[in-house]
Structure 1
Amino acid sequence: MRILFVVDHPYTLASAENVPHRRSFTAAVAAAAIRGARRAGHDADVIDLTADEFSPVMSRADLVAWRMAEVVDPLVADYQRRLREADHVVFAFPIWWEAMPAATKGFLDRVLTKGIVFDEIPDAAGIPFRNKLTGLRGVTLLTIMTTPHAVYRWWFGSPATKIIFKGTFGKIGVKNLSWRNYASVTEKTPQQRQNMITQTEQHFAALRDVRSLQSR
């Protein structure tokens, strides 16, 4: 199975090691997920938004091209190609002000182009979109936050999952949407955080190939 990992943190995936002032728990979780997927024999393709110097800003030229089902940025075109080749997509990012960082939102805005990633169906009853990512079987979120899980889910209403699941991939028809949330991380002991990392690697190492499951 081909799994596309989209990692968003200013320190990049290179900050996965536990080096003071150069470490990111988001990167550590993402790296564990990638290791687990590769242990299971999956093809792990990694997009590191900061390392790629991806701009989240939808420019005038971008928007004109978006309306014409075209792309002007070669990096966006490359991301679209890799998205079309993926069986599963995993987003990893910290929660800031209850939502995703700008680069992840920009990925949604600039990469999910109408006419390329999805079609809009005029006068459709119900969901007005048709998914063009025909091989994509699911999306997973790995979110890291200082907020308690219950507070984020019930008080704030889980904005990140609403945006990425209900408002984006679910809207275009992608099913199998899953969320792994690493909450209250600043209150965890080093051993508890290490346990989270270990459990993440084990989870992805246990993933089965969705293509073989669907062929049965």
Structure 2
Amino acid sequence: MKTLIIYNHPYKESYNHAILESVIKGIKKAHGDYEVIDLDKENFNPVMTSADLLGFVKHQAVDPMAISYAEKIRKADHLVFIFPIWWELMPAMLKGFIDKVIYPGLTYDYKENGLSMSSRLEKLKFTTVITTMNTPKIMYKFTYGNAVKKALIKGTFKKTGMKNIKWISLNMVKMSTAQKRQKWLKNIEYKFAKI
């Protein structure tokens, strides 16, 4: 199985980076094939320019980096997104990735009615989203309306035809003990070793 990891965190000593390492350890234990797109390290430009927007309307992407990322996504069996939740949503760089890579003509097409969409990701079997936040899970759900679930998982991934989407939400990370954080990492490694 080919796994493509889309990772967004600027600090390599972060807990998100430890999650990335656990995912990779699990994949290696399963003898899987993987690649990491590190948006910060690769200096991805998340800004949607007027040329990008015109390309969106014409279903012809113009950003070479976004086009190359979409090609990698089309070859993947499993997509994994790892990022922190800041101000109840994903960081700007990941939002820009979604805007410029999950794109008509690249990863999905519109159906004849102009509203429904069909995926161009024929190989893709699974999508896993792993997030960290300091908000309690119940507060994130009821006070902030599960913003990532509504905007990213339902409003983007499911709408564009992705299937078998799992969300691993790690909450109250700063307030958790070192033992709990280590347990989360071990669970993630185990999960990816079994895929």
Q: Do both share a fold (TM > 0.5)?
A: yes
Moved over 4 A (4+): none
Map 1:77-156; keep pairs closer than 5 Å.
77-123=67-113, 128-156=116-144
Match of 2:6 in 1: 6
AA partner of residue 154 (structure 1): F
1:66-104 per-position Cα deviation (integer Å, ceiling 9, x unaligned): 222222222111101100001111100001010000111
* 1:163 alignment partner, one of 151, 156, 165: 151
Structure 1 SS opposite 2:26: helix
Q: What secondary structure sits across from 2:42 in the alignment?
A: coil
Q: What is the aligned counterpart of 1:190 among 174, 178, 189?
A: 178
Quote the Cα distance in structure 1 between the aligned partners of 2:76 and 2:193.
Answer: 18
In structure 2, C-alpha distance between the alignment counterparts of 1:69 and 1:39, rounded to whole Å:
40
Q: Are the counterparts in 1 of residues 117 and 160 from structure 2 also a CA contact under 8 Å?
A: yes
Deviation string 1:175-202 (CA, Å, 9 cap, x unpaired) is 1110111110111111221111111111
Identical-pair percentage: 38
The 2-side partners of 1:179 and 1:154 are apart by 17
Q: Which runs of 5+ in 1 are unaligned?
A: 16-22, 208-216
The answer as to 2:35 corresponding to 1:35 is no
Query: What is the root-mean-square deviation of aligned Cα atoms in Å?
Result: 1.3
Instruction: Please list every run of 5 or more consecutive structure 2 residues that lacks an aligned counterpart in the other structure.
Output: none
For 1:163 and 1:174, locate their aligned partners in 2 and report how far apart those are by CA, in whole Å.
14
Q: Give yes or no for the alignment of 1:67 onto 2:76.
A: no
Matches of 1:69 and 1:171, distance apart in 2: 17
What is the CA–CA distance in structure 2 between the aligned matches of 1:147 and 1:109, rounded to whole Å? 26
Paired amino acid for 1:190: A
Larger CA deviation: 80-89 vs 114-123:
114-123
Between the two proteins, the alignment pairs up a number of residues equal to: 195
Deviation, 1:115, is: 1.8
